[in-house]
Amino acid sequence: MYSNHSFIALFLFFVMSSEKLVTLKISDGEEFKLDEATVVRSEFIKNIVQDVNCTSNAISLLNVDGKTMTTLVKYWKKHLEEGITEDQLKNFVQDFLKISYSKFLGVVLAARYLDDK
């Protein structure tokens, strides 16, 4: 017989393994493996995911570098967090905007390129 802990571990394994991962290959060669729910914040990526099987092929993003993508992914993930309050999100955005001008410009350009929603 399965214990409660075994059942929970088995359930989490199936939930985690059924999550569809999408690989993004960035201009500097770095690869990001992210869950589909995160990357479809980008309309550009969402359209590719809907048209092509992206679980076996990487999506090339030649106009985005690794540092910028890391910052953008942090922003996407925070906005997808469950249980986050409006105040927490507002504080996150205020802190997020304290990045350097050059980094901010890179993120804005990448967000435009990716048609971030």
Element (H, E) at 17: helix 4-17
pLDDT at 39: 92
Pick the CATH number of 20-114 from 3.40.50.10490, 3.40.50.800, 2.40.160.10, 3.30.710.10: 3.30.710.10
Look at 56 and 101; give whichever has higher pLDDT: 101
- Distance between CA 107 and CA 65 in Å, rounded? 10
pLDDT at 18: 52
**Is residue 95 packed enough to be buried (19+ CB in 10 Å), middle (13-18) or exposed (0-12)?**
exposed
Domains of the chain by residue range: 20-114
